[in-house]
Amino acid sequence: MSVINVANVCVQRSEDYMLEDLIKVEDRVLGLLQIYPQLRDSDKLLWIAYSVQYGDLRVILGDKYHSFKEWLMDKNTPAIESIRRSRQKIQATYPDLAGDRPSKLAEADRVKNQFILPNLDMEIVKI
C-alpha cells in the first residue's frame, strides 16, 4: 500500500485502497436490502442479486442463468460464507494449511497502524 503524508493529508493510491472497495460493496448491499426485502434472509439470493446488478451475472451466464440460480439456491449447495468459515477454522487448527494471505493481512495491518491510524483526523485523498 502506498501511503504518503503530505501537509496533513493522507494520500493513497486508489488501486491500493481496499477500504474503498469494502465501502462500495457495503453501500451496494445496503441499497439492495432497502429495495428488495426478500433478500434480507438469504445470503444466496443477496449474492445473486448483487452479481446480477453489479457483476453482469445474467449476461455472463446467458441462457444458463436460471439453471445456475436453481443450483445455487438448492439446499444441498452450501453457502459461500459457510465454506469460508470452515476454511478459517481448519486453518486456525492446522496452520500448515494456511495460504499466503495471513502474512499479507499482517503487513496491511502494520502499514495501517503505522501510517493511517495515527492520521485519522486527516482527509484521505485518492490519486
Q: Based on the number of CB atoms within 10 Å of its own CB, is 45 exposed (0-12), middle (13-18) or buried (19 or more)?
A: middle
pTM for the predicted model, two decimal places: 0.56
> What's the chain's length in residues?
127
- CA nearest 45: which of 113, 100, 63, 53? 53
> Which sequence spans correspond to the domains of the chain?
3-14+25-126
Residue 59 CB partners (closer than 8 Å, separation 6+): none
How many CB atoms within 10 Å of residue 57?
17
Task: Give the residue carrying C-alpha cell 486453518.
Answer: 91
CA 75 to chain CA centroid, Å, is: 24
Per-residue pLDDT for the chain (127 aa), expressed as one digit of tens each? 443 333 333 334 344 455 666 678 889 999 999 999 998 888 899 999 999 998 899 999 999 999 999 999 999 999 888 888 898 899 889 888 888 765 666 666 676 666 665 555 555 444 4
What does the alpha-carbon distance between residue 15 and residue 21 come to, in Å, rounded to a whole number?
A: 10
CB-based contact 46:52 (threshold 8 Å)? no
